[in-house]
């Protein structure tokens, strides 16, 4: 499990970016724990896989 700060460091972005992505419904799934958020590494990996270039086309079956 990663904290918000750990996730931001892993992705090389600011903590606020993680919060912004989540508020826009575009961030990884989080689990509220003790007043903070935790992110499963498997959920982060799945989220990243879905953001790869060509992933949407592959899901539609239109990737060349």
pLDDT at 64: 45
Give the model confidence (pLDDT) of 28-63 as tens digits: 999 999 999 999 999 999 999 998 876 555 555 554
pLDDT at 59: 59
Q: Where are the domains of the chain?
A: 2-54
Of 31, 28, 34, 1, the residue nearest 13 (C-alpha): 28
pLDDT at 27: 94
Give the model confidence (pLDDT) of 1-30 as tens digits: 999 999 999 999 999 999 999 999 999 999
Q: How far apart are CA 15 and CA 11, in angstroms?
A: 10
- Judge if pTM exceeds 0.85: no
């Amino acid at each position: 499990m990663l904290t918000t700060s750990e996730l931001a460091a892993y992705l090389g972005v600011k903590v606020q970016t993680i919060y912004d992505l989540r508020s826009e419904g575009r961030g990884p799934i989080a689990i509220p724990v003790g007043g903070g958020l935790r992110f499963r590494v498997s959920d982060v990996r799945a989220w990243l896989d879905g953001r790869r270039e060509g992933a949407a086309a592959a899901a539609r079956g239109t990737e060349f």
